[in-house]
Amino acid sequence: MATDLNERFLEQSHAKADQIYASLYRIRRVEEEIARVYPTDKVKSPVHLSIGQESVAVGVCQALQENDVVFGTYRGHAIYLAKGGDLNQMIAELYGKATGGAKGKGGSMHLINVGHGVMGTSAVVGTTIPHAAGYAYALKLRRSDSIVVSFFGDGATEEGVYFETLNFASLKKLPLLFVCENNGYAIHAPLATRQAQPDIATRAAAFDIPARRLPNDDVFAMAAAAQKAVDLIRSGSGPQFLECPTYRWKEHVGPGEDYQAGYRSHEEAVPWMARDQVPAVGRLLSESARRAIEQQVENEIRDAFDFAERSPLPDPGELRTNVYAD
| Of residues 27, 80, 43, 98, the one with CA closest to residue 312 | 98
Return the pLDDT at 4.
60
Residue 8 has pLDDT above 80, yes or no: no
Stretch 302-309: mean pLDDT, rounded? 98
Confidence band, pLDDT 50/70/90 cuts, at residue 26: very high
Question: pTM of the predicted model, to two decimals?
Answer: 0.95
Task: Work out the percent of the chain whose per-residue pLDDT is above 70.
Answer: 96
Q: Give yes or no for residue 2 having a pLDDT over 80.
A: no
- Residue 102's SS3 state is coil
> What integer best gives the mean pLDDT of the chain?
95
The reported pLDDT for the residue numbered 162 is 98
Q: Return the bridge partners of 121, or none.
A: 72
Residue 322 pLDDT grade (very low, low, confident, very high; cuts 50, 70, 90): confident
DSSP code, position 159 = S
First-to-final CA distance of the chain: 55
Alpha-carbon distance of 188 to 183, in angstroms, equals 11
pLDDT digits (tens, 9 = 90+) for 130-151: 999 999 999 999 999 999 999 9
Domain with residues 2-312, CATH architecture: 3-Layer(aba) Sandwich (3.40)
Angstrom distance (rounded) from CA 168 to CA 60? 23
Q: What is the mean pLDDT of residues 258-273?
A: 96
What residue spans define the domains of the chain?
2-312
Distance, CA of 25 to CA of 47 (rounded, Å): 19
Backbone angles phi, psi at 282, to 5 degrees: -60, -35
In tens, the pLDDT along 170-188 reads 999 999 999 999 999 999 9
Give burial (CB, 10 Å; 0-12/13-18/19+) of 195.
middle
